[in-house]
Copies of this chain bind each other. A is one copy, B any other.
Amino acid sequence: MTVNAKGAEMGSVGRIEPQAMHFAEPLPLTSGKQLNDYTLVYETYGTLNAARDNAVLVCHALNASHHVAGVSPAGDTGWWDNLVGPGKALDTDRFFVIGVNNPGSCFGSTGPTSRNPDPAAGGRVYGADFPVVTVEDWVDAQARLVERLGITKLAAVLGGSLGGMQALAWTLRYPERVANCVAVATAPKLSAQNIAFNEVARRAIVTDPDFHGGHYTQAGTVPKRGLRVARMIGHITYLSDDSMEAKFGRTTRGASDNGARHNYSTQDIEFQVESYLRYQGDKFSEYFDANTYLLITRALDYFDPAHAHDGDLSAAFAVARACRFLVVSFTTDWRFAPQRSREIVKALVDKAQAAREGLSS
């Protein structure tokens, strides 16, 4: 047990059992298709108060899940455990925190590795037949779950990266159901370069001979080579050039061994940064689903709430008049650098200004 800056005791939410909620009514998707008969896996921390107004929804990014805090039955600590718990920033003595795995993911909620309920699928898993989902589709699915939990309005919705996009989308789709939005290290839309990196990662997966057009489960294979390369690309974009330089520089592996700086090999590891990337790639390929990778990066690509407002992000935010926003970024983040957060802040400030002018006119 440690204490936070205010001297409050900080603790863990302890051992957490994931829960599951089944939805029989189809979820209409942005693509025009629908998701039939699906389940969402979620966790909650803290207690919903009598007024039901202390609920906070935490949205996950690419490789994360509903397991936000505490220790899972498998012994894994939640991905934002340092933020969520008694006395922590998201204080579970005050808030009822919800983590939910998005449809299309691979950690329990219905996704490409789930059985396709379509009789024509003959009991096989969805694989590549899982419908393409968007950030807005996820938010709709989350809204249904929140509703079922008896919550009319969330005290806050928050998330980082792709999770931050979901938090923003909540304020646009359900502005009356969100009091506060915390968007961390995110962007209002991907740049061409962001899309380019996603596309290369997808091509690495799709062209892996073990991918079998996305039906690798039937084929009894796993496109691990593609997943490894995809994850290596991802990890380069998660660190800025400067922070990668500070972390690895040109440090070699051999330097600490026999004194020879290089082995002169194209395939052995020479530099520490290579070792780091290979490790990250190997680890990821052991647990992540390839079709999920494709779906989630595509959802990132598509997110562009300003598009329906002729590119005017401020106009898009006009509906979110009553929501309060906290926008956070990291100078060490390269993909969603502070400049991308400033775009959001500018749009919100412009929106507030427009609203004030509207009131005074």
Task: Write the residues of chain A forming the contact surface with B, with a CB cutoff of 8 angstroms.
Answer: 30-33, 128, 131-132, 189-193, 195-197, 199-200, 202-204, 206-209, 214, 225, 228-229, 232-233, 236, 239, 241, 244-245, 247-250, 261-262, 264-267, 270-271, 273-274, 277-278, 281, 291, 294-295, 297-298, 301-302, 304, 307
Contact = CB atoms under 8 A, between A and B. Distances in A.
Contact of A200 (B236, B264, B304): B236
Contact of A301 (B207, B245, B271): B271
25 contacts: A33-B264, A131-B264, A191-B245, A192-B245, A192-B248, A193-B236, A193-B239, A193-B244, A196-B244, A196-B277, A199-B271, A199-B278, A200-B233, A200-B277, A203-B229, A203-B278, A203-B281, A204-B204, A206-B267, A209-B225, A250-B304, A261-B307, A266-B291, A266-B298, A270-B301
Nearest to A251: B192
Contact of A199 (B232, B261, B297): B232
Given A192-B248, A192-B249, A270-B301, A225 B199 contact: no
Contacts of A203: 228-229, 232, 277-278, 281
A196 B197 CA distance: 14
Contact of A295 (B31, B266, B295): B266
A304 B301 CA distance: 38
A229 B232 contact: no
A271 B281 CA distance: 26
Given A192-B245, A199-B274, 8 more contacts: A191-B245, A192-B241, A192-B249, A195-B271, A209-B225, A266-B297, A267-B294, A270-B298
Contacts of A190: 250
